[in-house]
């Protein structure tokens, strides 16, 4: 009999006349008898191959697959023949198929199960799924569960599954809390890094605009040591930054409190001038006010 013929009959209950013939029987928890071929089982699973070696020495007693529903065992055996499993079967039997694929070492089925179960995660079942992932050594499913928990922790925390976990598996609870905390720390570090990069970019543009204004002029503000006509200057490519700096320069040039240090805007201008002086590599030729003086002070 071909594998396809067997697959079409494998769900039949024991005792029916049309049951496919085989040289070994698989017995389920409810007593259902599923005929199979030892060479097919041995080729698909090293664990079943080992069991069949003992089976031949024990006068051909049936192979018992217990602890899971009969239909799940039928789907499992069918997969060993055809290496196919429908979406509906995976939705209905995925949890039990993952357990069977782990116990009987069927990697291709295990991969399909973990992928399918990862797409079926809900607030109510994620705790059961992550426990299953640990028991069945399914790291892909475990990580998916962890990420789902991190994103929905407040809701999962209110479920009966989480309360059960707190009382019966404190180690897993600790792992989940640590993962959530570490993920939040990474998120904060990324946010801080982004803010720092934006700040560096703004400062870099500010330095460029300061040199540009003091050397060439831009719209209404130009070099302090020569006559400047604003009619000849169009806005530059960084005018958003440049315009703010122009307003700051105008204020700085007329503010009577800049020497006393009581003006916040003037303090910002002093900071920009000092920053420029600290990084300028041509202080003798620089047109930025106080650059040479600030450069000597920084040295």
CATH number at residue 83: 3.30.710.10
pLDDT at 209 over 90: no
Which of 5-9, 54-58, 157-161 shows the highest mean pLDDT? 157-161
Structure tokens at 187: 């998120």
| Residue 148 falls inside a structural domain | no
What percent of the chain is predicted at pLDDT more than 70? 79
Number of domains in the chain: 2
Using CA atoms, how far apart are residues 187 and 127, in angstroms rounded to an integer? 24
Mean pLDDT of 76-95: 95
What's the pLDDT score for residue 58?
A: 61
Q: Tabulate helix, strand, coil % of the chain (nearest 5).
A: 65, 5, 30
- The residue from 120, 152, 177 where one domain ends is 120
Domain harbouring 268, CATH code: 1.20.1020.10
**How far, in Å, are 124, 211, 275, 289 from residue 280 at the CA level?**
61, 10, 9, 12
pLDDT at 201 over 90: no
- The residue from 81, 97, 120 where one domain ends is 120
Question: Binning pLDDT at 50, 70 and 90, where does residue 4 land?
Answer: very low
Q: At what angle do helices 126-135 and 87-103 cross, to 10 degrees?
A: 40
pLDDT at 26 over 70: yes
DSSP secondary structure letter of residue 255: -
Using CA atoms, how far apart are residues 80 and 226, in angstroms rounded to an integer? 88
**40 φ/ψ angles, rounded to the nearest 5 degrees:** -70, -45
| Residue 200 falls inside a structural domain | yes
pTM for the model:
0.62
pLDDT at 19 over 50: no
Q: How many CA atoms are closer than 13 Å to the CA of 131, on its beta-carbon side? A: 14
Question: Binning pLDDT at 50, 70 and 90, where does residue 74 land?
Answer: very high
**Which range marks the domain in which residue 31 is found?**
3-120
Q: What is the pLDDT of residues 120-169, one digit of tens each?
A: 999 999 999 999 999 999 999 999 999 999 999 999 999 999 999 999 99
């Amino acid at each position: 009999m071909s594998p396809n013929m067997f697959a079409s009959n494998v769900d039949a209950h024991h005792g029916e006349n049309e049951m496919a013939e085989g040289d070994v029987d698989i017995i389920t928890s409810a007593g259902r008898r599923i005929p199979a071929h030892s060479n097919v089982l041995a080729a698909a699973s090293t664990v079943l191959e080992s069991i069949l070696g003992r089976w031949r020495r024990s006068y051909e007693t049936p192979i018992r697959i217990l602890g899971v529903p009969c239909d799940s065992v039928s789907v499992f055996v069918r997969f060993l023949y055809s290496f196919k499993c429908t979406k509906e079967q995976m939705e209905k039997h995925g949890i039990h198929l993952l357990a069977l694929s782990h116990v009987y070492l069927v990697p291709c089925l295990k991969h399909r199960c973990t992928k399918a179960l990862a797409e079926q995660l809900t607030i109510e079942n994620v705790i059961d799924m992550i426990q299953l992932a640990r028991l069945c050594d399914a790291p892909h499913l475990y990580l998916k569960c962890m990420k789902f928990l991190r994103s929905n922790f407040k809701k999962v925390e209110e479920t009966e599954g989480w309360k059960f976990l707190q009382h019966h598996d404190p180690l897993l609870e600790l792992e989940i809390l640590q993962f959530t905390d570490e993920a939040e720390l990474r998120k904060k570090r990324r946010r801080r890094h982004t803010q720092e990069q934006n700040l560096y970019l703004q400062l870099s543009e500010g330095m460029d605009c300061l040199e540009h204004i003091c050397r060439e002029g831009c719209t209404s503000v130009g070099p302090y040591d020569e006559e400047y006509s604003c009619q000849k200057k169009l806005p530059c490519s960084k005018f958003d930054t440049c315009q703010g700096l122009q307003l700051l320069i105008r204020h700085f040039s007329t503010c009577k409190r800049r020497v006393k240090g009581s003006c916040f805007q003037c303090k910002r201008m002093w900071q920009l001038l000092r920053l420029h002086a600290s990084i300028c590599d041509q202080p003798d030729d620089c047109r930025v006010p106080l650059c040479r003086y600030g450069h000597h002070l920084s040295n």
